[in-house]
Structure 1
């Protein structure tokens, strides 16, 4: 399905760029692991294309063009694009899912902040749950309840990332903590970004994020039993490795500014073993009623998209709004540069 050379390039990108996913993917069967590598490599390219560029608006607009070419069957001459195009064709990947990721990246490029936890869930749905839903598609799972639990796992992982990276994000001028949490603590966002400190109030917010993630990890577990048996160890591994990062955050006193929590290689190997064991146990257990829990309202559009088998999707107005805003920003930046050049001459 995927050119072996392109697949090798994707494996190498993930091995260096996403250690947690690379570790968890070792427990997936090859029929899922290989397209998953292509998927994650394309997502990694998309994330880096925005995160590492000074002109973030232009980077997102270029990504939109690349995605258009993937779905037109004319991918760019790059291993992740070619491999992802094969995945789109072979698995009938609904376009709503990668475009949701693109919208989340557009929000990042706009420097968007989130007033409430619900708004943060909406962002997490786009940059993480969309990937979880795409993983379900790769496993040939389109059941709405299983998709809801996959989306829970995605939001949980993103909340864990945010809790771990508060200090690192602040150094880059990024802030993902809900603004109403900061308001209640009497913390001015701009003052915090100028001088981020692990105050008691800040550490409580980090702890609350980890606890929110842990609640969703518990809900997500109920969906693993609805996956193909051969896929369960890998998804358990992803769940346990990311939750392990949250545990490391708690062990640090929720100080995500002075240091960055991580799991060691030995811990990852232990968690892989635990995951393989738990996947075997689930075959003997009755299906949990939590599987049928109501999905987070912020992920409903992903479930609706992935539960059908057609890649045809009408974009929501919110994506158009984000892309139009970025295009307007790009034009304004260029006009400002041109005026500066004229004054200098």
Structure 2
């Protein structure tokens, strides 16, 4: 017989959905070790408590990215069909995690646990989820402002949450802005490095106006005759990366030594990726640009001295876009509609297309 409704019990709300904290941390550590060697290296420099919370945050971000793109730990992208449904699942699971209810997914239980421990808010996670929505909609940036907003959603907002994990107050807007700058820098390096992979997935994060300036025809971005223009656009991205990294160093100066060391190590490693893309020029996309282990160790050692000295250089040219301007734009405009893409005039075929 069915039990009378008066004796049914609701699911109790508990941090992490009731999962054992050590189990969640262990699974998160496995995810970051396999999903991002650069972040895994830098995270080892944090104090133990911050390191574990960093892994919990990474696990949620990685799992959301995998669900949105129907992939596994950043592997090959799955079919686009069903993307809207997958985004809805991300939202529902994240909401359930914040309520302290079990989600049947340790990565989402991890963000629920982290929210209880450090005060991550639904608004913070929602900013990140909006980035997944843009990709699911096939959105592409038309202007530099659009590129900045995309970078905020997919990386800058994560940087803000990382700052909260490191103990930065939600009222310390300046330091949170600098954490956002670090996320910007990472994403700009990623975009420059992954132009080939993104093109294969029919994605492009270079502003349309940049490609119009370079006379790059729609669908021709990775063609051999445009490699020089592509290298110039990559340098443009990395120049902006350097501006954001310089600002991020100002914020890192306010962090405790271990956290400062970890942040500066990550900044050096991702900065090295960006500059290696530029140095490879037209060959940057013949193979994936990586930083070998011994170079990462060298950057970690250099970051130790930089963190100990703790005298960041003054910023001569601050980046054009900052967290404050973007947040105003995000709150005022809401989701960005996909702009109409006007095709460029067709050129006569030539042997440059070979």
Please classify the TM superposition score into its range, dividing by the shorter chain length. Answer: 0.7 to 0.9
In the TM superposition, residue 75 of structure 1 has moved relative to its aligned partner by 3.7
Show structure 1 runs of 5+ residues with no match. 305-314, 327-345
The number of equivalent residue pairs is 308
What is the aligned counterpart of 1:188 among 217, 221, 240? 217
Alpha carbons 2:228, 2:282 under 8 Å: kept: no
- Within 5 A, what are the aligned runs for 1:292-303? 297=321, 299-300=323-324
Say if 1:230 and 1:10 are closer, same or farther in 2 by CA, change over 3 A.
Answer: same
CA distance in 2: counterparts of 1:66 and 1:196, whole angstroms: 44
Written as runs of structure 1 = structure 2, the 5 A alignment for 1:107-256 is: 107-142=134-169, 143-192=172-221, 195=223, 198-253=226-281, 255-256=283-284
Q: Which residue of structure 2 aligns with residue 9 of structure 1?
A: 27
Q: Which residue of 2 aligns with 1:279?
A: 307
Structure 2 residue runs of 5 or longer lacking an equivalent are 1-14, 71-77, 339-354
1:268 and 1:181 map into 2 onto residues whose CA distance is 32
Displacement after TM superposition at 1:199 (Å): 2.0
Q: Considering only CA atoms, is the larger Rg found in Structure 1 or Structure 2?
A: 2
Q: Secondary structure at the match of 2:277?
A: helix
Tell me, what secondary structure is at the counterpart of 1:190? Answer: coil
Note the C-alpha offset of 1:141: 0.6
* CA shift for structure 1 position 257: 2.8
* 2:94–2:111 contact (8 Å) kept in structure 1: no
Q: Decide which moves more: 139-148 or 154-163.
A: 139-148
Deviation digits for residues 24-72 of structure 1, max 9, x if unmatched?
Answer: 1011111111011000010000011112342222111110111111111
Structure 1 Cα separation of the partners of residues 323 and 238 of structure 2: 19
Which has a greater percent of helix?
Answer: 1
Answer whether contact 1:111 1:174 (CA < 8 A) is retained.
yes
Give runs of ≥4 in structure 1 deviating > 3 Å: 195-198, 287-291, 293-298, 301-304, 315-319
1:260 matched to 2:288: yes
Residue 298 (structure 1) shift: 5.1
Question: Quick one: structure 1 residues 249 and 145, their matched pair in 2 at CA, closer, same or farther if it must change by over 3 Å?
Answer: same
